[in-house]
Amino acid sequence: MTMENPQVRGWIDAKTAAERLGVKPATLYAYVSRGVLRRKHAPDGRRSLFDAAQVEELARRGKPRRPPGPGELAIESAITALGADRPFYRGRDALAMAETRTFEDAATWLWTGRDEDPGAWRAREDGVAAAVAAQSGLPAGLLPLDRLQLIVTALAATDPLRHHLDPEGVTATGRALVAGLIEALPPAGGTPGTGRVAERLWGRLCPHPPEPGGLPRAFEAAMILLADHELAASTVAVRVAASVRADPYAVVASGLGVLSGPLHGGASYGAERLIAEVADPASASRALGERLRAGERVPGFGHGVYKSGDGRGTLLMDLIRSAAPGHERLAAAEAVLDEAARRRLPPPNIDFALATLGAVAGLVPGAGEAIFAVARTAGWLAHALEEYGRRGPLRPRAVYVGPPPS
């Protein structure tokens, strides 16, 4: 039986329903034929109307899943559902969580599905010392994500409990791992934070101490919004690693390697560089025009899931606007948005909002990738926990198209 939202009643036309669901009008009629939506004819007999409450429920729940097609791998999971414009963590609206909860709350919810004390998030001192020492020969100016890939390996080498794959062991490792990833990063110049996870990460990525509310709240909201996103490319790699019982550190290392790609977590760095090129709002046209003329993909725009707009990016941009009205770097980002709309580019996504946060807060280069990586560690470990509870390894099969074996 369909659960109806009592705040949404009546019937709406096809255009309104399609926009709310982020689908083409033809898809609405496919939903009707499959029994997913109810339809009736308008009194004039020329239009179709759709049950508004049912459309709203479908938008919140996500598009009905079809059977996997060629080249697709279907994995059952109870962690994250993708709605029309946002993810839901174990049934909870990630955007609502981002406005009111801490990153520790969100991670604990992803790992356990329970509202409970998130516990102490402390790194192993010997692990942090080893990770800091391992970075001693690295070149100056290395981006934070490159450091994180080395740090996770050093943390693993010093943890004798890393092979404990029971739920309590994995969540304890997760708290220490996230704290270690942060504490082993070099401070950005200010005093490293000692409070919540988001405050500590701020101190490693921003040379200025956080002020109460404002941008630090947007920073923590970004971490919650990025904590998981169903079976993104890095999460598939993580689940494959966990399915063969790789330890949590190896699982996170697998995710970090995939996350660095410019079509995944690395997209925020591309958007960061785009905004940096816009010295003043008038130069936004040139910055976008040069990329489009060269046939390049404009980073920070469009999304493979949210065709009508990424609600995560919308919320994060609103938090930044509220925290820093009139900021010159925000004005540059707004100019890029205006120019992108004028050129009919797809809507902006969370990568663009993350780059805007970095520009307005004065974060170090590549900070968006680091926020993404540390935050997504929570989701990766939630997926690892599911795989540890299964019996066998994930084994995708290839469709061989090469020469006949001889």
Find the CATH number of the domain harbouring 345. 1.10.580.10
In a domain, 73, yes or no: no
Same domain, 306 and 199: yes
In a domain, 1, yes or no: no
Same domain, 158 and 34: no
Cβ atoms within 10 Å of 16's Cβ, excluding its own: 14
Nearest CA to 151 out of 296, 65, 253 is that of 253
Same domain, 153 and 35: no
In a domain, 260, yes or no: yes
Question: Do the beta carbons of residue 317 and residue 356 sit within 8 Å?
Answer: yes
Same domain, 216 and 105: yes
CATH no. for residue 48?
A: 1.10.1660.10
In a domain, 349, yes or no: yes
Q: Which residues are tagged catalytic?
A: 303, 351
Same domain, 36 and 112: no
Same domain, 242 and 330: yes
Question: What pLDDT does residue 66 have?
Answer: 57
Same domain, 150 and 284: yes
Question: Do the beta carbons of residue 283 and residue 273 sit within 8 Å?
Answer: no
In a domain, 74, yes or no: no
Same domain, 95 and 45: no
In a domain, 72, yes or no: no
In a domain, 392, yes or no: yes
Question: What pLDDT does residue 387 have?
Answer: 95
The residues of the chain scoring below 70 in pLDDT are 1-9, 33, 61-73, 190, 213
Question: What pLDDT does residue 70 have?
Answer: 53
If DSSP codes are grouped into helix, strand and coil, which group holds residue 113? Answer: coil
In a domain, 44, yes or no: yes
Residue reference for tokens 């109806």: 4
Same domain, 167 and 20: no
Domain count, the chain: 2
Same domain, 258 and 213: yes
**Could you tell me the residue range of the domain that residue 388 belongs to?**
87-396
Same domain, 282 and 152: yes
Question: Do the beta carbons of residue 21 and residue 28 sit within 8 Å?
Answer: yes
How far is Cα 110 from Cα 128, in angstroms, rounded to an integer?
A: 25
Same domain, 135 and 272: yes
